[in-house]
Chains A and B, each alone.
Chain A
């Protein structure tokens, strides 16, 4: 179990010695037990940092935000920014560096291992607590220690953990400057891609019926895109706003501009958005599960991204977030890539 004090000490030290310009981490939130992202710049604030089973957020997103703000202000900082990163977050950072979004020396990674745990899912916890209000939730080995007003409750961690954590391929942040917690990469709580395999066993008609039900519901709030550290494009292809409008542009030209998909939240457009997104994340999504967690209408987005991840692994020997210097999935090939489907 990681002592949160060690993370605070590391953050305080880095800031006090002037080695980093800020630390992105988690603080106790305003909503009960839940942690929330925070960026601190003062060593005094280090004691506000927390580390527990509610640190869901993939903080790599804030590295992207930081880069965008710097670019906008046309500033080149001379100090790196530090970030608290779980296994999945660290893989996201690796992908960003692989894509030259920033350089290795621009970030200082404070790795935290999930060891035998991961992050919890609120509804799973609520079911087991029978209405008791949780004040804090920390993973200790294979157990989740929940503090409630009535005292401490110990629950099997696997019953409250997020599916992606149960299926996690790498709960240890391999890429780091400093790391806390043990490397338990070989732990296998649930075989990877279990949920996907279950889904794929359905017939074609059932799979279609399933996705219809899902995509009829999507309201195209784009929370899934906004929360994803890999969806960093300033202009997304589905927004069709890249059309340059000049004074002489006619109404007809505007009406006939290329629109790959419509903005209306109807099934056909939603499904095209999500398939496009899955393709754009192939070899880049590191399964932090954030898109699925933030969806207000519970669309099982992990299935689509997991599908791409598993195909990449099984057929192209590719692991997203494994190497900063390696080629990307769709910008590389091997002579023996599958081609039997081509006539």
Chain B
């Protein structure tokens, strides 16, 4: 990794389901697991409540990477929210790739409330993958 990549800190917007991944991120904190501070968490009621527009808007407002994390399949508090999310997110991910946005800028994971270590790992990996890409300017609002 070049020095420049080392110095650049990607901004991540992390949409976390309140029933699982949000608690998972808390657990990572209270367990004092060291992981990068790049992710700004936004708690959502369920991964299924995510509109593709949240993701596009996060990129538009300047996120370098967007993470969506929900309950494992079978564990959604609303039974099928994460099944619906999986389908919707698959489509938006395909669309992002088709227009030429780097696939590594968007990530989805299943992290339960007990998986603090997994959450930390997901963020660590994401940051490592984002660093070589540099700042995201493709979808960022052009306010000139």
Task: List A residues at the B interface (Cβ < 8 Å).
Answer: 200, 204-211, 237, 260-262, 266-269, 271-272, 275-276, 278-279, 282, 303-304, 307-308, 311-312, 315-316, 329-333, 335, 337-339, 341-343
Contacts and interface: CB of A to CB of B under 8 A. Distances in A.
B139 A279 contact: no
Contact-residue bracket for chain B: 35 or more
Given A207-B98, A208-B138, 11 more contacts: A207-B99, A268-B142, A269-B60, A271-B139, A275-B92, A279-B52, A307-B94, A312-B91, A329-B87, A333-B84, A339-B90
Contacts of B108: 341-343
Given A271-B139, A337-B87, A261 B60 contact: yes
Nearest to B84: A333
A205 B138 CA distance: 11
Contact of A279 (B60, B91, B100, B144): B91
A279 B83 contact: no
A303 B57 CA distance: 22
Overall SS of chain A's interface? helix
Contacts of A279: 52-53, 88, 91-92, 95
Given A268-B60, A268-B142, A342-B108, A330 B87 contact: yes
B73 interface: yes
Interface string B63-77: 000000000010000
Interface of B: 52-53, 56-57, 60, 73, 80, 83-84, 86-88, 90-102, 107-110, 122, 125, 138-142, 144
B137 to A, nearest CB: 9
B107 A343 contact: yes
Interface of B is mostly: helix
A313 to B, nearest CB: 12
28 contacts: A204-B102, A211-B100, A261-B141, A267-B142, A268-B60, A268-B138, A268-B139, A268-B140, A269-B60, A276-B52, A279-B52, A279-B92, A279-B95, A282-B91, A303-B98, A304-B95, A307-B94, A308-B95, A329-B87, A330-B91, A333-B84, A337-B83, A337-B86, A337-B87, A339-B73, A342-B109, A343-B122, A343-B125
B98 A260 contact: no
- 3 pairs of A and B residues whose beta carbons are closest in the complex: A208-B100, A207-B100, A333-B83
A211 B53 contact: no
Contacts of B99: 207-208, 211, 271, 275
Contacts of A204: 97, 100, 102
Which of A209, A276, A312 lies at the interface centre, i.e. has the most chain B CB atoms within 10 A of its CB?
A276
Given A272-B139, A276-B52, A343-B109, A307 B100 contact: no
Contacts of B60: 260-261, 268-269, 272
A262 B140 CA distance: 12
Nearest to B83: A333
